[in-house]
Amino acid sequence: MTDRFRIALAQLNPCMGDIAGNLAKARAARAQAAGADVILFPELYIVGYPPEDLVLKRALQDAAQAAMQDFAKDTADGGPAVLIGTPWRESGKLYNAVCLLDNGRVEARTFKYDLPNYGVFDEKRVFTPGPLTGPLEIRGVRIGVPICEDIWTPEVVECMAETGGEIMLVPNGSPYEVGKHEDVRFNLVAARVTESGRPLVYLNQVGGQDELVFDGASLVVNADRSVAWALPAWEEKLVVTEWQRRDDAWVCLPGERAPSEERSQSVYHAMMLGLRDYVNKNRFPGVVLGLSGGIDSALSAAVAVDALGRERVRCVMMPSKYTSQDSLDDAEECARLLNVGYETIPIERAVDAFADTLRPVFAGRAADTAEENIQSRVRGLILMAISNKFGPMVLTTGNKSEMSVGYATLYGDMCGGYNVLKDIYKMEVFRLARWRNQTAPAGALGTPGRVIPERIIAKPPTAELRANQTDQDSLPPYEILDGILECLVEKEMSFDEVVAKGFEPATVRRVEHLLYVSEYKRRQAPPGVKIGPRNFGRDRRYPITNAFRDAK
């Protein structure tokens, strides 16, 4: 019986569908972990997570299983055994699996038992649940391998512990959600450790995948619930953990303990990584965005520079006759602080041309939002033309408050490929801007410290589509609007419950109405980083045609 054991943890960033690239990265990690007894990779690592309906392609399944057989041959060298996530087809069924590779072959497989089917997850759509199983024996140690959701309820860990499991190794594809790491994940791990009396390794992937971003932040928790290792968030990391058998139980020796992050820090890093991976994995050379002199575009530009580097960010000011001198000055100053490419393309002639074209059609009608929206759509056309000509992706800049109530123009400011503010309410935009001005985010490629002019943060928000316009002409104050939306969107409260929070009934009624009737716009919006528990898109799925109103 062995008394020492070494487990390598590969907190890596796979690319969806890049089986050859993911395999090459896994091989490199295993080589670096020479001397370990086993190396653990994240859930469905070989294809990426979540694969959605891509995993139903027979060609992908075949390629993944061939990669397992190929990688297994490496283990004939006597180096670390491998626990790696993969889709696995067997007896006509498809499973979310982990393969044990050792001695030059696929020694064993274990299948995910508890398939999540809520929020961003649709695993019951594509996978068959596996049976409750016991542990795998690896180099004389009995290892339980629950897969991600399998530890959200007691049954799987309990079964593995009762059938002799000594250490639980849990591969995860757990998306970031603000506050989730500190509260939900640790409490979840602690509950399984307490119930089973076994130490548990929680290995999470890192990286962006469309709207989801994975923060890593992997943990090793001993049977006494002490944290032996806490890997950093937002970065790939390979570590080898040392284990000793004491009094017939396994204990992980202490290692790295990365500090926890406060809210603005973690949210900003999520936006950075989400944008960086979306741009890089889709092979865009960079991004282009409209820099208006307002806070949303300024913060979006700051995130883009921090994620991609200033040379990959192009900013364009597109003034109309309603654009104030303050906005022109603020946009120019923001571009200077960010040290990005910046140019001015006036839109007045283009707007006038559309007005002339539409004059016979609009005859006898007073000017209204139709004319205002032409300005926004001209700007969208200019940015898309630059994107088509030079290749950068258009980055949109609308925040969650605006998208909730439809304060955005289809084919105008909604025009683009990605939006880092999509799940960020307006008041948090202000907080993040102030935070960014006071710090240098870890891993950021931009300038430390102040990058957003103070006047941009301090002045009243405005779309500047007509004279003397402010957002509050059409919307409640953002501190009120965001509070109501938090209740209606994140918490799904009833009208009466929201009013009981102290909000004025007429305002709640109006916001609820705007929220529902704007669904058709959100369906046509670009993807953006999921930050909170109920983002528009993967989490909150409402019908467009919807006559229900809770408001009395």
Residue 112 gets the label, from left (phi > 0), alpha (psi -120 to 50) or beta, of beta
Known catalytic membership, residue 112: yes
**Which pair of tokens denotes residue 344?**
């001015």
Query: Looking at the domain 264-471+519-523, which fold is it?
Result: Rossmann fold (3.40.50)
For the chain, the structural domain boundaries read 4-257, 264-471+519-523
Q: Give me the helices (H) in 171-216, please.
A: 186-196
pLDDT at position 539: 81
First vs last C-alpha separation in the chain: 70
Catalytic residue among 25, 43, 237, 464: 43
Known catalytic membership, residue 15: no
CA distance 168 to 143: 6
CA distance 189 to 222: 10
CA distance 86 to 67: 9
User: CATH assignment of 4-257?
Assistant: 3.60.110.10
pLDDT at position 251: 96
CA distance 437 to 183: 28
Whole-model pTM above 0.85? yes
CA nearest neighbour of 257 among 224, 223, 217: 217
Q: Which pairs from 483-492 meet CB under 8 Å and 24+ separation?
A: 484/508, 484/511, 485/400, 485/401, 485/404, 485/405, 485/425, 485/511, 485/515, 486/425, 488/512, 488/515, 489/404, 489/515, 489/534, 489/540, 490/532, 490/533, 490/534, 492/534
User: Please, are residues 250 and 417 in contact by the beta-carbon 8 Å criterion?
Assistant: no
CA nearest neighbour of 397 among 469, 517, 291, 305: 291
Catalytic residue among 99, 148, 159, 252: 148
Catalytic residue among 25, 112, 180, 400: 112
From residue 271, alpha-carbon distances to 100, 423, 536 in Å are: 35, 10, 16
Mean pLDDT by 10 residues, the chain (552 residues): 91 97 98 96 97 95 97 96 97 96 96 90 92 94 96 94 96 90 84 95 97 95 95 96 92 94 95 98 97 96 98 96 91 96 95 94 91 93 97 96 92 94 96 95 93 92 61 79 94 93 93 93 93 86 85 69
Size of the chain, expressed as the number of residues it contains: 552
CA distance 124 to 46: 20
Give, in degrees to the nearest 5, the angle at Cα 247 between 246 and 252: 25
Q: Are strands 167-172 and 227-230 parallel, antiparallel or unpaired?
A: unpaired
Residue 511 gets the label, from left (phi > 0), alpha (psi -120 to 50) or beta, of alpha
CA distance 273 to 528: 12
pLDDT at position 471: 58
Residue type, 545: T
Number of CB atoms found within 10 A of residue 343's CB: 12
Known catalytic membership, residue 402: no
Q: Which pairs from 178-184 meet CB under 8 Å and 24+ separation?
A: 178/263, 178/266, 178/267, 178/270, 178/531, 178/532, 179/263, 181/215, 181/217, 181/233, 181/260, 181/266, 182/260
pLDDT at position 460: 76
CA nearest neighbour of 208 among 542, 538, 535, 530: 530
DSSP state of 185: I
**Which pair of tokens denotes residue 282?**
């889709």
pLDDT at position 472: 67
Number of CB atoms found within 10 A of residue 548's CB: 7
